[in-house]
Amino acid sequence: MAKVILEEDFLAEDFDSLTFYDLLPTDDVKISHQGGKEPVGKLATNLMQTNLEDLQIKDLDDLAIGLINGCTSFNDFSDWPALADKMAIQYSELLLNEEARELRMKLSRLNYFIRALLDKNIEVQAVDEWFIEARGPWDFIRQNGKLMWIDCEESSLKVESASGTSSYTCGLPTQIDKITGTEIGIGSHYSNGGWLLNGSGLKEVIHSKPIVTFFVWEGATCYLDVDGLIFEKGKGVVGKIDLPFTMIHKCRFFDDRLVFFDWSQPKKGYIYNLDTKKGECLELEAVIVCNDICFHSGFYYLIDKEQGHVFKYDQSFKLIAKESGLGRGKGKLYDPISIRPVDGELQVLNWFSGKVVSFKGFVSNDRIGETRVGSQLNEHAKLLAEKYLDVVYNEEVKPTGKYPDILARWLSETHLKKKGRLLDIGSGRGEHLKAFSKLGYEVAGLDISKRAAEMCPEYDVRIANIEFEEMPYENESFDFIFSKSVIEHTYQPAMMLDRMLSAMKPGAKAVVMTPSWIHTYKVFYTEYTHVRPFTKQSLNDAMRMAGYEDVEVDYFYQLPLVWRQKWLMPFVRFLGMMPLPYRPIQSAPWPDGLNKIIRFTKDVMLIGVGTKKN
């Protein structure tokens, strides 16, 4: 039998968020009332036509009661999603107006009621659920075998390990971030200052404004406050984000950029590049209030407080997909507050309940190789490959030079450090096969194009597309695997990395080179066969998820002069930020030598190095 709540009790709710929102029309509950209320369809129509300044709280209450009581006229109004969006947007616009607290909370609650009914029958592809037993948990992280979370209790930081749970008091924290392998930062958009936790204990960082997040930039611990000021610990202000936000509520650090959100600005986000000191506004048409963001396997994942969805975006912030729905059922989200990539899954924390929902199929690269679509992609890739060496990578367009020999020698001295059997993935014309062979390596090649084998008859070059096909070499048969400018051509980089690993001996080393998306995003797709960009973090994640150990990913400038003369790097970075044209992307007046220098201050690579477990 349904629980009955008196109307006066429902209307007399205090505005503690943890109790105010603890009710949905999908719960087994009814509200007794005296009658005389307008039909739900008419109330919804009126609200849809009412401006924010003319809203009446009574109309919101009446519609909420009607929805809870299972109205028979739900179908009398056809645009519930648009009304829910309107309520959520108006909530967001009132967020910083404390005098409108009751109105904005009732707007948000009505939005939740509508979405819970709309999403009632959605089936969510979640793989697991577990709970953080705490009052209003804001964020969580796993590090060194410990689960850490922050919540609304007096002892607001918890560290759970095999030996028990430790508690710390650090104001009202709202964000926790890994700074290094041994240190985490605790930030807030409520409490002034912030906190650092490491092996020496918890230390307060005094600041006159709330510190939202901590991060490491160019070897120094830095932090960002709610006003957009960037500080270096122990030094003072080192930067200011000049973008049209009012207050920063949530920020995450990825590679060399800060991605942040002002929750009072619906459907917006911001990116600030620490390297170039330039920022931009993100127009997020699908996301109303982004509570958190993470970056995983080449994609951004955003959670929406008001919609109860996870949204998947590519690196240019083009929407790809969404998952979940609002509610209490399995896999459903109700005020999702934190999203984390953990062991190949996305884990989303719900603020009201402490429920953590794990998604897997949504975040992994779909194993499409065995499907009809995968077969078509494989055949298409092979057709392109037969033309690639003749059209894109011929001697006229890209003449053979000394660079492969210089690169091979540098890699041998700095990363490989001994001789052995080496496989070149994407061996193409064979420049790197020849270069490593000259240095004393026993070399073999792999390419998708039959032309590669024809061009290098003196070497063992086998033909396969290991994104879709099995590795044509024996398991555990190579000491080294080298791949330059290949992985960005794959739809399923995880498959390529998996099959590379299977061919490596225990203790073997892999070197993967690919364009850095952060540096090349404007020109990345001028290469027709590019499909998957990488950042420093996403390449690191992809290699670690595939099982590589001791993974290190760095930016790599294809200018041999700076590899050993590091003092030239400030000049190179400065030149890279200058708006100078270069061939072949644009017409440029420079002689070939200067053009090459300008080009490769901008066309920066990533170099990822990882080993196979002994």
Q: Determine the residue type at 161.
A: S
pLDDT of residue 210: 98
Complete DSSP assignment for 391-404:
HTSSTTTS---SHH
pLDDT of residue 363: 54
CB 312 within 8 A of CB 359: no
- Other beta carbons within 10 Å of 471: 20
Q: List CB contacts of 27: < 8 A, sequence separation 6 or more.
A: 328
The 3-state DSSP class for residue 140 equals strand
Q: In what side-by-side order are the strands of the sheet with 257-261?
A: 250-254, 257-261, 268-273, 278-283
**What are the structure tokens assigned to 385, written together?**
């490959």
Closest CA to 229 of 215, 248, 244: 248
CB 517 within 8 A of CB 533: yes
The 3-state DSSP class for residue 462 equals strand
Complete DSSP assignment for 532-600:
--B-HHHHHHHHHHHT-EEEEEEEE-S-HHHHH-GGGHHHHHHHHHS----TTTS---S-HHHHHHHHH
Complete DSSP assignment for 24-84:
-TTSSEEEE----PPPHHHHHHHHHT--GGG--HHHHHHHHHHHHTT-TTGGG-S-HHHHH
- Running DSSP on this structure, what letter comes out for residue 228? S
- Helices 57-68, 101-118: axis angle to 10 degrees equals 30
Query: Which element (helix H / strand E) includes 110?
Result: helix 101-118
pLDDT of residue 246: 98
pLDDT of residue 339: 98
**Burial call 185-201: b when 16+ CB within 10 Å, e when fewer:** bbbbbebebbbbbeeee
**What is the rounded distance in angstroms from the CA atom of residue 250 to the CA atom of residue 80?**
29
Query: Which element (helix H / strand E) includes 511?
Result: strand 504-515
pTM for this structure?
0.65
**Residue 585, phi then psi, degrees to nearest 5:** -75, -40
Q: List CB contacts of 230: < 8 A, sequence separation 6 or more.
A: 222, 223, 224, 237, 238, 239, 240, 241, 274
**What is the rounded distance in angstroms from the CA atom of residue 482 to the CA atom of residue 376?**
27
Q: Which residues of the chain have pLDDT under 50?
A: 364-374
Closest CA to 134 of 122, 146, 114, 148: 148
pLDDT of residue 390: 63
CB 492 within 8 A of CB 531: no
- Helices 536-546, 493-503: axis angle to 10 degrees equals 50
Q: Bridge partners of 302?
A: 293, 311
Domains and CATH numbers, the chain: 3-118 (no CATH), 126-359 (2.120.10.30), 368-611 (3.40.50.150)
